[in-house]
Structure 1
């Protein structure tokens, strides 16, 4: 999977297998009985999460969410989504909303100052800083994703190993 030429931060993949959805789910349930020191699997219905645990886990460690969908009685469509740790994702979304909210507030203030013929220089400076901060968040997120690239490959290898068993 090529992660360097993609603008999206959350990488997706799709896979079709000639296997029943319940039989495939059983393979993941079987893996949960193995006491792995590096990975753990959480299953809720036909949603499966592969996570890194133990000493390999860092704040930038990704997880893999799989959604099993029956195409027919003998075929399964798998949707895979790599994502950051939910706590880190929530923190980034909080920062995005704070930056966006601050930008919108200062947009309103700048418009009011313009209508009242007051100086708008400080408002425009804050708005520019918010745009720069937003762009900076994007590059930080790309750096976090590149830090977790090897772990994404490890999770993908685990996924392929489980479905091949």
Structure 2
């Protein structure tokens, strides 16, 4: 029985949430086993709560994505289900950097733009008029840089999606063939 993880799009930090009857230890062992078997392609670590998986491709580039898997027991339902949540996206440092650049461009636009508008209304001229196109260019540059990074990481996104599908299909197989 093969099924695919329900990810609607690989465009912007795709997330998934699936359930399995495996215990935490069984699921962790399954991830570790697959990481060991495919150590030339995948790297990362697994602990009791989280797994972090990366595609190995020569040296790890700054823009390469990673797969974060959170393993938790289903507390909403008193069943024996294990909830596996995942997100495929850039490293936290990249995500923070781009958020900073968007915030900076917004702050420049609002702060200096307001000052420019006030000064222009009062004096009919402003030396800060450059701040408005600068903030727009900064936001657009950040957006296009993120698109370029996404383009560069497309192969790794696909490989991480493949990793998720293989591990969860193996979990499904293991679950169906338990005693």
Q: TM-score, normalised by structure 1?
A: 0.77
Quickly say closer, same or farther: Cα 1:30–1:23, change in 2 above 3 A: same
Partner of 2:145: 140
Contact 1:25–1:46 at 8 Å: present in 2 too? no
Deviates more, 1:36-45 or 1:107-116: 107-116
Q: 2:32 & 2:156 partners in 1: Cα distance?
A: 22
Asked if residue 90 in structure 1 is aligned to residue 96 in structure 2, the reply is: yes
Q: 1:123 & 1:11 partners in 2: Cα distance?
A: 40
Counterparts of 1:105-124 in structure 2 under 5 Å?
A: 105-114=111-120, 116-120=122-126, 122-124=127-129
- Tell me how large the CA RMSD over aligned residues is: 2.8
Deviations 1:15-74 (A, max 9, x none): 222322332123224445557133212224311110123516333211011112222553
Counterparts of 1:41-80 in structure 2 under 5 Å?
A: 41-55=44-58, 57-71=60-74, 72-80=78-86
* Number of positions where the alignment pairs a residue of Structure 1 with one of Structure 2: 161
SS at match of 1:55: coil
Task: Kindly state the Cα deviation for residue 154 of structure 1 after the two structures are TM-superposed.
Answer: 0.8
Partner of 2:177: none
Q: 2:33 & 2:68 partners in 1: Cα distance?
A: 17
Contact 1:15–1:79 at 8 Å: present in 2 too? yes
Deviations 1:82-141 (A, max 9, x none): 111333333323322332232233124224414533414x53442133123213312321
Q: 2:86 & 2:151 partners in 1: Cα distance?
A: 18
Partner of 1:81: 87
Q: TM-score, normalised by structure 2?
A: 0.72
Gaps of 5+ in 2: 1-6, 172-179
Contact 2:101–2:138 at 8 Å: present in 1 too? no
Gaps of 5+ in 1: none
Partner of 1:18: 21
Contact 2:28–2:47 at 8 Å: present in 1 too? no
Q: 1:13 & 1:146 partners in 2: Cα distance?
A: 21
Q: 1:20 & 1:74 partners in 2: Cα distance?
A: 8
